[in-house]
Amino acid sequence: MLIVLSPSSSNEQIQFLLNKLAQQKLETQYYQIDGKTVITIKDDCNLADFIALTAMNFVEKVIPITKPFKLVSREYKVSNSVIQVGNCTFGAGSLQVIAGPCAVESREQIINTALAVKKVGATILRGGAFKPRTSPYSFQGLGENGLKYLAEAGKISQLPVITEVMDVNQVDIVYKYADILQIGSRNMQNFSLLKELAQIDKPVMLKRGISATLEEWLLAAEYLVAGGNSKVILCERGIRTFETYTRNTLDLAAVPLIKELSHLPIVVDPSHGTGKWKLVKPMAKAAVAAGADGLMIEVHPVPSEAHSDGEQSLTFQNFKILMEEINKISNSNS
């Protein structure tokens, strides 16, 4: 159960309610979210307790939620969360397209890519500076120099930028350069990192873990929201199954299911979801048709020469064709 207190509730009223609940041996926790105090009750309340709570004049509403994820649930917030990033809005009905290379490889590469994707309609620039790779011998990213090049490319193209943060020790430096901080699939349940990013005042994109259920994914998002950061964007990027013809299995059913279960916006990454550039366009179109709030597409000037993920990256021309086709679907849905 959730108890939402009015913004004008005093510290004395909050403590009075917490004491009252403790006397009933109910296990509680309370959070400050979007200027309101929210109290969660782990145990079930009987009808008399429920009526007594709603009668208090400083209690705005009491919501009986049985799901393990509460603050990100549709029961807690019926309307969609709308997250502003520069001139872009996630969750307001418009489609946001995040595009750029898997990794920032040079200043020239990222600036050229930024200008190319902006020209055909991308709204946010992506690029990795710290690259979590399966092999320790693979390209690991340019680090802070990559962040500097990414931020410069964002300013030149007038696009907000997103990049991945891998460790709590990287939060401050990534925060300095990025408009959105991304939690990669390998770190979805890195609870120390989740708690750290819950304390920042910038949006966080949470990618679904490689083998995570929807419930586990939403509980990871709950860590962020419960810690104080309600600017959370979810990203479906495929899960590991028995199939070997694609890099992952892109779970597009997650889009309508997440919209039913949660108020958070959801983006789809068909590049990682398939691992094959020829599959990116049809799966991106399917994601838009399914109601995704955005797409994340890997684009590289010369994919065959990319330091990472070239096989799933689009050329500038192929990205232009994709944008033309998804705009038709997006416009027909609006």
Question: pLDDT tens digits for 187-227?
Answer: 999 999 999 999 999 999 999 999 999 999 999 999 999 99
Q: Which two tokens stand for residue 68?
A: 């393990």
Q: Which CATH class is domain 83-333?
A: alpha beta
How far is 265 from 257, CA to CA, in rounded Å? Answer: 12
Residues 6+ apart with CB under 8 A from 213: none
Mean pLDDT of the chain: 92
Q: Tokens 């300013």 label which residue?
A: 155
Q: What is the CATH architecture of 2-63?
A: 2-Layer Sandwich (3.30)
Domain with CATH 3.30.70.1140 in the chain: 2-63
Domain with CATH 3.20.20.70 in the chain: 83-333
Burial class (CB in 10 A: 0-12, 13-18, 19+), 211: exposed
How far is 277 from 318, CA to CA, in rounded Å? Answer: 9
> What is residue 333's predicted lDDT score, i.e. its pLDDT?
61
- pLDDT per residue, tens digit, the chain (334 aa), is 788 898 888 889 888 888 888 888 888 888 888 778 888 887 666 656 666 777 788 888 888 887 889 999 999 999 999 999 999 999 999 999 999 999 999 999 999 999 999 999 999 999 999 977 778 877 778 999 999 999 999 999 999 999 999 999 999 999 999 999 999 999 999 999 999 999 999 999 999 999 999 999 999 999 999 999 999 999 999 999 999 999 999 999 999 999 999 999 999 999 999 999 999 999 999 999 999 999 999 999 999 999 989 999 999 999 999 999 998 887 666 5
How far is 189 from 200, CA to CA, in rounded Å? Answer: 18
Cα-Cα-Cα-Cα dihedral of 82, 83, 88, 94, to 10°?
A: -30
Residues 6+ apart with CB under 8 A from 322: 280, 281, 284, 297, 314
For residues 141 and 103, is the Cβ–Cβ distance under 8 A?
yes
How far is 179 from 109, CA to CA, in rounded Å? Answer: 20
Q: Phi then psi for 119, rounded to 5 degrees?
A: -60, -35
Q: CA–CA distance from 165 to each of 20, 130, 148, 295 (Å)?
A: 42, 7, 14, 19
> What is residue 220's predicted lDDT score, i.e. its pLDDT?
98
The three-point CA angle 150-156-162 to 5° equals: 35
> What is residue 283's predicted lDDT score, i.e. its pLDDT?
98
Start-to-end CA distance of the chain, whole Å, equals 36
Angle of the 316-333 helix axis to the 107-119 helix axis, nearest 10: 40
Q: Which two tokens stand for residue 87?
A: 């001139």
Burial class (CB in 10 A: 0-12, 13-18, 19+), 320: middle
